[in-house]
Chain A
Amino acid sequence: MEIETKVVDGITVAKLCDTRLDAAQAVRFKEGLREISEGGANHIVLDMTDIAFMDSSGLGAVVTVMKQMGRDKTLELASLTVAVAKVFTLTRMDKVFAIYATVDDALSKGMKAAG
């Protein structure tokens, strides 16, 4: 899975350049994010604009990445499509993650710890 990154004020925005985050993509997604995190990104905003479909394997992969990053780093989510947001809501994982409507929202309202 191709992931584009840019750094804004110490926050790494990681954009998933794919339309699906499912069982077939989960391993590649985790590898990609681990590389970014181990490369020194302590605060990551995941830009999910392009992800039209996510299954529970995809959700599990996002949880795995957050746990691997540990409590001292942050992983926040932005720009979820309706279908993706629904998976978070139905599993109540929307209560666990910080989720923002847009990447700009995440950068301005969230991530205060990063500044």
Chain B
Amino acid sequence: MLDMLLAGFESVLTIYIILLIIVGVFLGLIFGSIPGLTATMAVAICLPITYGMEPVAGMSLLMGLYIGGVSGGLIPAILLKLPGTPSSIATTFDGYPMAQKGEAGKAFSFAIVSSFLGGLLSIVVLIMIAPPLGKIALQFGPYEFFAIVIFSLTLIASLSGNSLSKGIMAGLLGIAFAMVGSAPIDAFPRFTFGFHSLDAGFNILPVLIGLFALSEIFISAEKKMKGSVKANLKKVNYKVSIKEYLGQGWNFLRSSVIGIAIGILPGIGGGTSNIISYVAAKNSSKKPEKFGTGIPDGVVASESSNNAAVGGALVPLVSLGIPGDTVTAMLLGGLVLHGLQPGPLLIQNSGDIVYGIFAALLIANVFMALFLFLGMKGFVRLLSIPGYILLPIILVLCVVGAYGVNNRLFDVGALIFFGVIGYLMIKFGFPLTPLVLGFILGPLLETNLRRGLMLSQGDFMPFLTSPIAATFLSITIVSLIFAIYKNKKNKKQESTDNLEKTGT
């Protein structure tokens, strides 16, 4: 294996290919950092360009785009509370409060290091044990996915902030919005009111940037612009001690493993892995109440898991020819167009190219961290641009991004619609993340339930008797009981606190 990897590096270490990787990472970072543009779009635009290249060269460019695209999202997430892509939603939870406290530099350092290490770990896993891991992924069918989705939906409880009921309402609203358009399986249009534009439903991107980015812009527009951030800029601290990094060791490892595992499972992807890791970090932390106030733990959890999902998503692609997310689906097309046959024999038949791809990934990962570290001080300067100049530019980029999803104006309308929804939700104290989670998971839940019932010919038992499904459902029940217990305890605490206050 080692000699194969060395051969892989040999094929990649030419000036031409290194340049392609650099260009790829750079473009990817730009796409990832602009709200509305994503790694998926970057790969979609560059895929045709690679058709004319040698397979290793073309794939190297795409790997650079992929890694850059997933990582770039941390910049606007930390600085502006705008998740550039679904994979950086959880980065905003603690990254933005850190930046508000004048710790933007520190947040960047943590985010970049965990992105780099999370990516590295997942690539190593990909190189070492892709085939057996891919086989495990095959064991996940509708019953198992259904259980995982149920489990993930209960995370809403931990993401609801002060009010569980508001969190649940937001989650249900997300599921309701996801139901608009063609139903899964029979493709019958639902809730379209006869408008053909609604036939395809809402795309995740306008929903996400509408809810998070547009609503923030509306909120800022409401306030008077002040140059308050400028003052903080001079005191920005980038230094993080080795001890602080080491303190995140467990958090990092757990988050990376979650990222890899979710990346491997086709269809769930990086959009949810960062949220799941964040909740896992919060629930196993000794100071869960500090999450959301600007502590590095949250940034590390989110950023290590979303980059780890990259290597994870490539596992089934390389070992079995099955893509794990939208980007790998396009990479699959790229392989086919270069005359490679994706499938169990890919490593055996085209080992030189596969190991070239591995080498390109490792190199791209290094350049990603390098670019981000070099650019860090520049990014922070973005904060010194007055809001009345920066926000309109972001608004334009959001609109371009929404249009670019499917090249139709309908998605721009959807963007504005969800912007207003997000604005109203913030105003009335509803959390936004449960809505996104419901929107992503709702269709997965319905599809896998219906598929499972078709497979079992109407029998619900297999949903409970499949070992993997049973495990996840048990975890769900345990975590629910735990959440309810904690909720009650908090309420008791509050009421006794109140009693004491009124008593004195």
A binds B: no
